[in-house]
Amino acid sequence: MDQAAGESRKIPLHAPEDYEGMRRAGRLAAECLDMITPFVRPGVTTGELDQRCHDFMLAHGAVPATLGYRGYTKSSCISINHVVCHGIPGDRTLAEGDILNIDVTPLLDGWHGDTSRMYVAGTPSTKARVLMDVTYEALMRGIAAVRPGATLGDVGFAIQSYVEKNRFSVVRDFCGHGIGRKFHAAPNVLHFGRPGEGPVLRPGMFFTIEPMVNAGRPEVKVLDDGWTAVTRDRSLSAQFEHMVGVTETGCEVFTFSPAGLHKPPYAA
Ligand code: MF3
Ligand code: CO
Ligand code: CO
């Protein structure tokens, strides 16, 4: 979500029984991303991929939370190459070597699942592969920092320091978000920060971590369609997103791939 939206809101604390709703919604979101994997290849349109995600969510008793969300009319976001996030599926045909993020958000029995992964049409350039690897590892380091008593600044620092050590940049204009019965709730989860700063994490908090990492400069701009965010310098961008719940000892990731398809390359 965009970073300007609501600071200073109370961070909801969820009950133990709420975790089961999030497990089910998160698993369905991850299964949708598993399902779409073999269809991502040169020649397919992003509109076809979106339709498959749409049909999958409905077939499993969920509704795509993006449909009608602030005027958005698609069931997924598909962001190719220099598109940072919120790419709108349509007539665009994937070409050999394109890298893309697919982000889905099924609403299942009142709970939101939200996850995204990178995919490749064919074989990526070395630069693209390294960018995707670094972005995935940055997300995992952010997740590893989540535990009661830690702060969101610890999470942001874990992500930012790893990304910058690898000479890529973290997008500042979009952040992760609280999630649950609401799609976008408190807190804002920044993917940069300083240790010890920001809200203290407590068991019962549900939020996404979804770093966007650019090969070049961090600045983005939103196109005239009002959604598509691109890198200003047209450098490649990558993103992975997981949804976590803080537990007594650390966190539970609700959106791991049941098929083990964590990051490209995915076995054929
Ligand atoms: N799934 C995105 C997120 O991670 C939000 C997409 S909102 C849309 O927060 F309207 F662009 F679909
Ligand atoms: Co999200
Ligand atoms: Co998302």
As beta bridge partners, residue 83 has 230
In which element (H, E) is residue 207 found? Answer: strand 206-209
Between the CA of 211 and the centroid of ligand 2 the distance, in Å, is: 10
Average pLDDT, the chain: 97
Going by C-alpha positions, the residue among 158, 153, 128, 125 that lies closest to residue 143 is 158
Please state, as a whole number, how many other Cβ atoms lie within 10 Å of the Cβ of residue 1: 20
What is the average per-residue pLDDT within 228-256? 98
What is d(CA 101, CA 237) in angstroms, rounded to the nearest whole number? 9
Which atom of ligand 1 is found nearest the CA of 183? 9
Query: Is residue 11 a contact partner of residue 186, using CB atoms and an 8 Å limit?
Result: yes
Q: What SS3 class is residue 169?
A: strand
Half-sphere exposure in the Cβ direction for 113 (13 Å, CA): 35
What is the predicted pLDDT for the residue at 6?
44
Q: What residues does the ion ligand 2 have nearby, CB within 5 Å?
A: 114, 208
Nearest-CA residue for ligand 1 atom 11 is: 86
| 72 ligand 1 Cβ < 6 A | yes
The answer on pLDDT for 181 being more than 50 is yes
Residue tagged 């709703």 (tokens): 21
The answer on pLDDT for 117 being more than 50 is yes
What is d(CA 113, CA 94) in angstroms, rounded to the nearest whole number? 26
Which atom of ligand 1 is found nearest the CA of 70? 10
Angle at which helix 46-59 crosses helix 18-36, to 10 degrees, equals 140
Task: Provide CB contacts within 8 A for 54, sequence distance 6+.
Answer: 64, 75, 76
Question: Which residue out of 2, 66, 212, 223 has the highest number of ligand 1 atoms within 8 Å of its CB and is therefore the one to mutate?
Answer: 66
State how far the alpha carbon of 141 is from the alpha carbons of 79, 134, 240, 246, in Å: 23, 10, 12, 15
The answer on pLDDT for 136 being more than 50 is yes
Between the CA of 251 and the centroid of ligand 3 the distance, in Å, is: 19
Q: Which ligand is nearest to the CA of 1?
A: 1
| 256 ligand 1 Cβ < 6 A | no
| 50 ligand 1 Cβ < 6 A | no
Q: What is the pLDDT of residues 51-92, one digit of tens each?
A: 999 999 999 999 999 999 999 999 999 999 999 999 999 999
Between the CA of 128 and the centroid of ligand 2 the distance, in Å, is: 22
Q: What is the pLDDT of residues 92-104, one digit of tens each?
A: 999 999 999 999 9
Residue type for 88, please?
I
Beta strand pairing status for 83-85 and 229-231? antiparallel
Q: What is the pLDDT of residues 138-155, one digit of tens each?
A: 999 999 999 999 999 999
| 1 ligand 1 Cβ < 6 A | yes
Cα–chain center distance at 17: 25
Between the CA of 194 and the centroid of ligand 3 the distance, in Å, is: 24
